[in-house]
Amino acid sequence: MPDYCKSEKALSALSPQQRRVTQENATEAPGTGAYLHNDEPGIYIDIVSMEPLFSSSDKFESGCGWPSFSAPLEPQYIIQLQDPSHGMARTEVRSKYGDSHLGHVFTDGPVDRGGMRYCINSAALKFIHLDDMQAEGYGDFIARVRKNP
């Protein structure tokens, strides 16, 4: 397993928006995220720790204004915490090793995919295209991206 971790080097490379989202629990404005309309095949990793988080195969259009996924790529890299902020009872989603704030998970996702909606900030993610996954060290996940291998 690669050594996923939060490093000073990774943190110093973050844009102000990426830092606000991942380190200060901010949320990017709806409809503004770079990956909201990305339909390319690949995986989404934590911008801080490079942990593999979501597959394009699990991405769907929810209409909420943020990229939405029906399931994590590898559940062991996702931490869920209760988030009572803003007077709401929500479940926050964070990366395990990067401890990055990713977004929130809700139970109003597609029923045929398990009913979950992981509503994730683009600013917390880096996209690795299917064509680059092997070279970038994510070859073990290629079969999980292809819908019809």
Which are the catalytic amino acids?
Answer: 119
DSSP 8-state symbol, 11 = H
The three state secondary structure string of 18-67 is: HHHHHHHCCCCCCCCCCCCCCCCCEEEEECCCCCEEEEHHHEECCCCCCC
